[in-house]
Amino acid sequence: MRIRGAAVVILLAPAMAAMVVLYVIPLGVYFINSFHRFLDGRILPVWTLQTYVEYFTDSFTYKVMGTTLRLSLLVTVLSIVIGYPLAYALHTRVRSAAAKGLLALLLFSPLLVSVVVRTYGWLILLAGTGVVNTLLRGLGIIDQPLNLLFNMTGVVISLTHILLPFAIFPMYSVMSRLDLSLKEAAHDLGAGWWDTFTHVTLPLTMPGIVAGALICFTLALSAFVTPRLLGGGRVQVMPLMVYNNTVDINWPTGAVSGLVLLLMSIAAVWTLNSLLRRLPSV
Amino acid sequence: MSTLAAELRAEAQEGRGQAARDALLRTALGLGTGFILLPLVIVIVYSFSSVSYGVFPPPGLSARWYSHLFEQTTFRAAFGRSLTIGLAATGAALVLGLLGALALVRARFPGKELLRGFLLSPIVMPKIVLGVGWFIFFARLGMQGGVVPITLAHIIVVLPFIINILAANLVGLDPSLEEAAQDLGASTPTVLWRIVLPQIRSGLIVSGLLAFIVSFDQVESSIFLTRGENNTLPIEMFLYMEKWQDPTIAALSTLLIVFAAAIVAVAVLFSRGSDLRRMLLR
């Protein structure tokens, strides 16, 4: 059934109305604040670029940006490096469809539970007398408990865990569409498993890697709960800055940093998407 | 003869290499699944701990954290609020999303791809940016936060997920069924209600469940809309964890894990595998 004319407008009107009133206007109202100024605990309704100037001349800005990018990059690389063998093993080494489905569900299951719950789990695991330190000491690997909490280490571990399913599923999805006869052909032509992997499997699964990296990186950029609860104030990332600025009623600075965070997300999506388009599609 | 022996030897070596790679990949899959489930398992274990501090292994077992949890009326009220918001936002977004997806799939008009991108764009928007935007927007309207503003906000958060899944479902339908119904005299609403909806039942269930889960997990998009007194469950937990870290949260988390498992059971029972996969792939 093809939909034409007035029907198209009627069908789209509710969603569009909601998007304009509850999405475009709030974001507009928010970002307009970036052209105002925060002085002596209140917002001056003047039109100025002063907040931008102050934001970009403050060295703290670049420190926070650096931390945010470093965290996001680290977590993305870890998620891909850990997730790739998992996706590959799930695709090639699990025969029965039922076992495959069950494992996929298990790998996906943490996403059904609040990120607060998962972060709490890592709080228990990484504590000084927690599971990880107790096990490492029991095995004689360390003498003193490692400081895994309230610093970058804890945030990286926990955030990698949270984003891992987002890395696994795009890669798995590309692998499952992969033509296995190509691997056999490479093998028949005398290529060893390593050559087959680097010359056939890896390039063909690259779209999955890039898609996984895209999701992980954008989600890591805007991660809030984990850096807040596990960073102990030492992992100052941009979403936390936006939060703090808002709590301090400094909406102008909050709006500038929010806008910068948004532009970083868009830049990441755009870069990885154009990379994705240049890759051969499977 | 010697070449044959060499070939056989090489093949045996390759077999051994293959077996080693199999074992390695299976181990990786086991370890990876363990890593992903570990925080959830540990939360369940700690919810039965007899002490308030995180020490491994817990010195004894008790159910005191569950009784402590049930004494806390704030969590019960917050759960009720999250449930209400999740159901209302999902219901509204299903209606808006279904109509929008129909137009996106079945109509042809200029700028359709741009419109689709716009409707899906809240996915990449950092949640904290949306959160501050709604805070300022609703404050300007004189609304002090609460269940209604949060529900309105969550409609925007979950709408892209619903449109994405329903559009994919609609693309897969055979248009000849609808044409046949129309030829037999059915009006457009009748065709939608009697022919189209039953065919995308599974997509409606899966996208609805996903939307509910996403709404149920919102922290930073809603934290400025609660004003401390009408917190949703994840925000109540988040704020509790900023102050205390006793296993009351573990007991609550365990109940939420059971709740999530029940949702998965519903999804598996009432939907098609392809829609579940789409949910996994987001």
DSSP codes joined into one string, B195-221: IIHHHTHHHHHHHHHHHHHHHHT--TT
Q: For residue B135, give the nearest of A61, A99, A22 by alpha carbon.
A: A22
Task: Band the pLDDT of B282: cuts 50, 70, 90.
Answer: very low
Q: Which residues pair with A37 in a beta bridge?
A: A44
Residue B1 has pLDDT above 60, yes or no: no
Please classify residue A247 by burial: count the beta carbons closer than 10 Å to its beta carbon, then call 0-12 exposed, 13-18 middle and 19+ buried: exposed
Contact B188 A1 (CB under 8 A): yes
Residue ranges for chain A with pLDDT beneath 70: 1, 180, 280-282
Q: What is the pTM of this model?
A: 0.88
Chain B residues with beta carbon closer than 8 angstroms to that of A262: 125-126, 129
Residue B267 confidence (pLDDT) above 80: no
Tell me how far apart the alpha carbons of residues B91 and B162 are, in angstroms, rounded to a whole number: 11
Read off the pLDDT band of B278 (50, 70, 90).
low
Tell me what pLDDT residue A225 has: 95
pLDDT for residue A255? 94
DSSP secondary structure code for residue B226 in this structure: S
Number of other residues whose CB lies within 10 A of the CB of residue B184: 8
Residue B188 vs residue B116, higher pLDDT: B116
For B164-179, how does the pLDDT look when each residue is reduced to its tens digit (9 = 90+)?
Answer: 999 988 988 888 888 8
Task: For tokens 């970058």, name the residue.
Answer: A152
Q: Partners of A180 in the beta sheet?
A: none
Q: CB B129 to CB A85 under 8 A?
A: no
Question: Testing the interface with A: which of B33, B48, B49, B56 to mutate, by most A Cβ within 10 A?
Answer: B56
**Domain B72-281 homologous superfamily, CATH:** MetI-like (1.10.3720.10)
Partner-chain contact B29 A94, CB within 8 Å: yes
In this prediction, residues B192-217 reach a mean pLDDT of 90
CB spacing of A15 vs B33 below 8 angstroms: no
For range B114-122, the mean pLDDT: 94
For the record, the structure tokens of B277 come out as: 């996969």
The mean pLDDT of B80-103, rounded to a whole number, is 96
CB contact under 8 A, A258 and B115: no
Mutation choice for B interface testing from A131, A215, A248, A271 by most B CBs within 10 A: A131
DSSP three-state, residue B107: strand
The 10s digit of each residue's pLDDT in B134-144 is: 999 999 898 87
Closest by Cα among A94, A159, A196 to B29: A94
pLDDT of residue A282: 47
Whether residue B28 and residue A3 make contact (CB cut-off 8 A), yes or no, is no
- List pLDDT tens digits, range B21-38: 888 889 999 999 999 999
ipTM of the complex: 0.89
Q: Averaged over B152-158, what is the pLDDT?
A: 97
Q: Domains in chain A, ordered, with CATH?
A: 44-278 (1.10.3720.10)
Pairs of residues, one from chain A and one from chain B, whose beta carbons lie less than 8 Å apart: 274
Instruction: Calculate mean pLDDT across residues B56-77.
Output: 86
> Chain B closest CA to A180's CA: distance in Å?
16
Q: List chain B domain ranges.
A: 1-37, 72-281
Please give the single-letter amino acid code of residue B80. G
The residue of chain B nearest to residue A8, with distances taken between CA atoms, is: B103
Interchain proximity A120–B241, CB inside 8 Å: yes
